[in-house]
Amino acid sequence: MAGSAAIRSKPASAKTAPKPIEKSSAGPLEFSRDQELSAYREMLAIRRFEEKAGQLYGMGLIGGFCHLYIGQEAVVIGMQMAMKPGDQVITAYRDHGHMLACGMAARGVMAELTGRGGGYSRGKGGSMHMFSKEKHFYGGHGIVGAQVSLGTGLAFANHYRNNGSVSMVYFGDGAANQGQVYESFNMAELWKLPVVYLIENNRYAMGTSVSRASSQTDFSKRGLAHGIPGEQVDGMDVRAVKAAGAKALEFARSGKGPYILEMQTYRYRGHSMSDPAKYRSKEEVQKMREEHDPIEQVRGRLLRGKIATEDDLKEIDAKVRAVVNEAAEFASHDPEPDPSELWTDITL
Amino acid sequence: MAINILMPALSPTMEQGKLSKWLKKTGDSIRSGDVIAEIETDKATMEVEAVDEGVLGSILIAEGTDNVPVNTPIAVILADGEDASAAPAPKAASAAPAPVAAPAVVTAPAALPAASAPASSEIPAGTEMISMSVREALRDAMAEEMRRDETVFVMGEEVAEYQGAYKVTQGLLAEFGPRRVIDTPITEHGFAGLGVGAAMTGLRPIVEFMTFNFAMQAIDHIINSAAKTLYMSGGQMGCPIVFRGPNGAASRVGAQHSQDYAAWYSAVPGLKVVAPYTAADYKGLLKSAIRDPNPVIFLENEILYGQSFEVPKLDDFTVPIGKARVHREGRHVTLVSFSIGITYCIKAADELAKEGIEAEIIDLRTIRPMDTETIIASVKKTGRCVAVEEGYPQCGVTAEIAMRVMEHAFDYLDAPVMRVTGKDVPMPYAANLEKLALPNVGEVIAAAKATLYR
Ligand SMILES: Cc1ncc(C[n+]2csc(CCOP(=O)(O)OP(=O)(O)O)c2C)c(N)n1
Ligand SMILES: [Mg+2]
């Protein structure tokens, strides 16, 4: 189908084989026993939550768009292990994992997904729009790329207040092509703002692979013109994420300005719930699941290192499932918002 | 415990689908994440993944079954070691474990199956009509114009290989190739400006926005670059470009994805703004828009995409921009609306008819330039007017209609003009609140009666 006059920046062959995930050059990768266990528990909590959300969507309890984070869990959990209290998080619509990682309650998130009064936005936001001032989570944004300027603004406020906090700004490989990203990069470097840009490269923006949309597919280099350092990280290995995250956060916190981490990761599920998935092969998904799954990697280490037994892990799974089931139960029975809520929170 | 697998909903607007294929058979063991079946909707074929683990106890809906309602049990999973007798017997959909307090899905106002708009002068008498969805009508309009004029091309996010996020550009890549059907990066401001630049040289771009919500990234180019160039260049250089895509609320997609821009763009000189309702109008007006030498904002509606209407079978059917259409004749009250707003008017008119009130429905089709003449002619006849839109009340299209009626037919009015609009709030996500935020048929009926002092 590729005509010779086609608008294509790459030969067709360049788009097919995703390159292997590279190892980060950052620090030591060893996790302590407690860190391994905690990473396992936290990632599993996101996975089980998302599986349940997918199920509730199928039952018609969740409507509209619902973007699942399954496969990408190591990114937010690794960063969470590296950040300090007070550091802010902002992301797009694929936000359930980020909220759980920030310590937001599963039931409040799930009830927002079902549009109930007990949800974080009292049912008015939905899957894509949740916030928690208390947990320093600034949303939950539906416009691709918008969170990058907003997140740079969070960093501006940290700088202005000189409070020592760093803003962690998550966005996708697709979002990385929006113009406002580069306007933000320029200001962040110009003013040395404390921000870490986390490009979650899951290889696709909806049905478009990175090589079909990007002239520079090494996202760690996207800040070079502005003098912003960056690096590629194996975003399926929670230890690599934590190590790179710690380094980048330290850099930003010390007043040196922004830092870019390209998290090489993968989403197993469709873009949202209705996704014919014709743009990638089943084998590609299967291979990622079998060879790079972030949770299986930790699980393997836990068992091989005799840190935990199968029974211990079953017990963790049971506890995680109990929390998720309780959240789903709540989210299914909690009443819808009161009709008067239609007219509240518009202006103060 | 045996677990029923239910027919899943895979999109905000899906109510039923076809179970096209089983990939697992009775007795197979199932792990969470396994693909167990394929289902088809009007938009796509999709895979059903298992969430629960166990053994496939029984299949309740055979492959190839059409129109399986969402939430019908389609199979039963047994826990490992469980006896197949634990599987509940196949049951009717009504016996499915009802999702607790499932929020009422705001369903698309049902299309009158192949609604036949009163024959208009645009369609020669005796023309053969075929039933066609709005989605197909749009695709055909683009394909016909691309065949006719080599300078026409379409660009946007997911328009080519993915066949359109809402499948509107289906098949265009195969016919016209990647030179003329172009997938863009997610860079609305950039590709809108690029399109305007190309149009300044005389190419005729069709720029698809995945939805008009994302055109806000590009609105500077639409207004500052596209709308004003002809004027600023003293008439030397126009901008023959179409910006198209779904506009307005879909279903449960929240505040940032549910906005109606009809009033916004209609405020700008230099633009034409089109927002049709029937498939025939979508087709005829899109063809006119592509041929128009000016920038045209072509507002579609996602909920209407799947609805079918009669479309004339003509080699080259166009509908003029700037002409409203009388969708239904009546003598007691004039209902003026456009796009999906017409669905509220039709239902209201049906109800009003039961009480002996004959409502005339005017489908504006074009918001700018607005066909004042057709509105005024109707209001002079009925003496009463209700304007309806899903957008906001303040400075809305309905506000403009009311003003024009005052300017041109004040002396003919027997009652003040009324309007029914979306509520003056960002669109909420919760099902009950979303329903309240949108206009409804009851409000149109009440407004019509108010103008009749009934
Ligand atoms: C400005 C804008 N344009 C288009 C969209 C529609 N859209 C939603 S998500 C998406 C793909 C984004 O991909 P990426 O940034 O890689 O994030 P991912 O979904 O992979 O997490 C698109 C095109 C949007 N929401 N906002
Ligand atoms: Mg992506």
Residue B87: the pLDDT is 47
Q: In chain A, which residues have pLDDT < 50? A: 1-17, 22
Residue A7: the pLDDT is 45
Residue B52: the pLDDT is 76
Q: How many CB pairs under 8 A join A and B?
A: 212
Q: What are phi and psi of A259, to 5 degrees?
A: -145, 145
Residue holding tokens 């239609």? Answer: A342
Determine whether the interchain pair A1/B178 forms a contact, defined as Cβ–Cβ distance below 8 Å.
yes
Q: Is residue A302 part of a domain?
A: yes
Structural tokens at position B196:
């305007």
What distance in Å separates residue B206's CA from the closest CA in chain A?
16
Going residue by residue through chain B, which has 454 residues, state the pLDDT in tens, using 9 for 90 and above.
688 888 888 777 778 888 989 998 898 888 877 888 888 877 777 778 877 788 888 899 999 998 898 888 898 888 766 665 544 444 443 333 333 343 333 333 333 334 444 445 688 999 999 999 999 999 999 999 999 999 999 999 999 999 999 999 999 999 999 999 999 999 999 999 999 999 999 999 999 999 999 999 999 999 999 999 999 999 999 999 999 999 999 999 999 999 999 999 999 999 999 999 999 999 999 999 999 999 999 999 999 999 999 999 999 999 999 999 999 999 999 999 999 999 999 999 999 999 999 999 999 999 999 999 999 999 999 999 999 999 999 999 999 999 999 999 999 999 999 999 999 999 999 999 999 999 999 999 999 999 999 9
Q: Is residue A243 part of a domain?
A: yes
Structural tokens at position B332:
């007691």
The gap from C-alpha A124 to its chain's centroid, in whole angstroms, comes to 22
Please name the member of B8, B70, B162 whose beta carbon is closest to the beta carbon of A207: B162
Closest by CA to A200, choosing from A264, A247, A259, is A264
Please name the member of B35, B185, B253 whose beta carbon is closest to the beta carbon of A64: B253
Q: B23 — contact with chain A (CB < 8 Å)?
A: no
Residues with CB under 5 A from ligand 2 (ion): A 172-173, 202, 205
Decide: B167 and B134 in contact? Cβ < 8 Å. Answer: no
Residue B82: the pLDDT is 66
Our answer to whether residue B208 is catalytic in this structure is no
Q: B225 — contact with chain A (CB < 8 Å)?
A: no
Residue B70: the pLDDT is 85
Q: Is residue A10 part of a domain?
A: no
| Ligand 2 centroid from CA A122, angstroms | 29
Cα gap B435→A64, rounded to integer Å: 14
Q: Report the CATH number at residue A71.
A: 3.40.50.970
| Ligand 1 centroid from CA A308, angstroms | 39
Domain count, chain A: 1
Residues in B 76-135 with any Cβ partner in A closer than 8 A: 99-103, 105
Q: Is residue A105 part of a domain?
A: yes
Chain A residues with beta carbon closer than 8 angstroms to that of B7: 58
| Ligand 1 centroid from CA A206, angstroms | 7
Burial A304-316 (b: 16+ CB within 10 A, else e): eeebbeeeebeeb
A206, A222, A279: residue to mutate for ligand 1 pocket, most atoms within 8 A of CB:
A206
Closest by CA to B267, choosing from B431, B397, B376, is B397
Q: E strands, chain A, where? A: 88-91, 137-140, 167-172, 195-201, 204-205, 208-209, 230-234, 259-264
Which residue segment(s) compose the domain that A231 sits in?
33-331
Cα gap B376→B212, rounded to integer Å: 30
Q: Is residue A18 part of a domain?
A: no
Q: Is residue A220 part of a domain?
A: yes
Residue B114: the pLDDT is 42
Please name the member of B71, B186, B425 whose beta carbon is closest to the beta carbon of A60: B71
Q: Is residue A247 part of a domain?
A: yes
Q: Is residue A314 part of a domain?
A: yes
Structural tokens at position B202:
């005389």
Q: Which atom of ligand 1 is nearest to the CA of A201?
A: 16
Q: Determine the Cα angle at B432 with ends B427 and B436, to 5°.
A: 60
| Full-model pTM | 0.86
Decide: A209 and A174 in contact? Cβ < 8 Å. Answer: no
Rounded-to-10 torsion of CA B444, B445, B449, B450:
-40
